[in-house]
């Protein structure tokens, strides 16, 4: 248990659906991240939020839309995804020492 | 751009042997380096964090060293156990304002009984 909770753990969606991934942390951290992990590839940074402000968008397609309503919650809104977007999506929060704590991930399958 | 490489990509050892996992990075201007463990289908578990001013960190059977000048870190796991079977990832945090972690591809470890 890292203190970072992601829901849902598994999600199957069609290419025309709209869904959202949720991440929650109660560690008192003020920076949160979305990473994408595809098979056979290193983790890719998608978005960074610091103090609820997006500070990094790593050339992610607009079909992925992040939202950070407060320092404890982070969402990733998904719409009109492609099959190649199927991956494990990981959320992390950063402690004051710079250590990152990850959630268990949301496994997304796009049909 | 920081590039992180982990060698070997896979490793199989008998139980009781010591494990040595290597990580190299191209830009020595890092804020910290972190080692993670990942079990199949799961998230990442932080194992050790080494700040840029430190040379090593230890936790139980785990010891990680950092040599910024040569761009290398090594994770040692003493007296390996089957429960140590997992993928081990190293990641360097950038020194820019937002602390982005750049990951290696990982080393997949199998410890056989």
Nearest alpha carbon to residue A33 among A49, A57, A22: A49
What pLDDT, on the 0 to 100 scale, is given for residue A16?
Answer: 86
Q: Which A positions 23-52 lie with beta carbon below 8 A of chain B?
A: 31, 33, 41-43, 45, 48, 50
Residues 6+ apart with CB under 8 A from B37: B44, B45, B47, B86, B87, B88, B89
Length of chain A: 111
Highest mean pLDDT (candidates A38-42, A51-55, A91-95) = A91-95
d(CA B30, CA B91): 10
What pLDDT, on the 0 to 100 scale, is given for residue A55?
Answer: 74
What pLDDT, on the 0 to 100 scale, is given for residue B105?
Answer: 94
Q: What is the token pair recorded at B46?
A: 């932080």
d(CA A22, CA A35): 13
Which residue has tokens 């190299």? B24
**Is the pLDDT reported for residue A108 higher than 90?**
yes
Q: Sort out which chain A residues have CB atoms less than 8 A from B93's CB and list them.
A: 98, 100
d(CA B42, CA B104): 17
């Amino acid at each position: 248990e890292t203190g970072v909770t992601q829901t849902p753990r598994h999600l199957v969606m069609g290419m025309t659906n709209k869904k959202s991934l949720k991440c929650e942390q109660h560690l008192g951290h003020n920076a949160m991240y979305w990473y994408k992990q595809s098979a056979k590839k290193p983790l890719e940074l998608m978005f960074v939020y610091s103090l609820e402000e997006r500070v990094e968008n790593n050339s992610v397609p607009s079909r992925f839309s992040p939202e950070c309503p407060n320092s404890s919650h982070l969402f990733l809104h998904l719409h009109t995804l492609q099959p190649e977007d199927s991956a494990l999506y990981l959320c992390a929060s950063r402690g004051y020492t710079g250590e990152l704590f990850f959630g268990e991930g949301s496994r997304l399958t796009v049909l | 751009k920081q590039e992180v490489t982990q060698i070997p990509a896979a490793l199989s050892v008998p139980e009781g042997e010591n494990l040595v996992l290597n990580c190299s990075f191209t830009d020595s201007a890092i804020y910290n380096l972190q080692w993670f463990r990942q079990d199949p289908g799961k998230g990442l578990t932080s194992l050790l964090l080494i700040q840029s001013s430190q040379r090593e960190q230890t936790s139980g059977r785990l010891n990680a060293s950092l040599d910024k000048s040569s761009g290398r870190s090594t994770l040692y796991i003493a007296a390996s156990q089957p429960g140590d079977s997992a993928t081990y990832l190293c990641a360097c945090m950038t020194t820019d304002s937002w602390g982005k972690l750049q990951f290696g591809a990982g080393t997949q470890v199998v410890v056989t009984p």
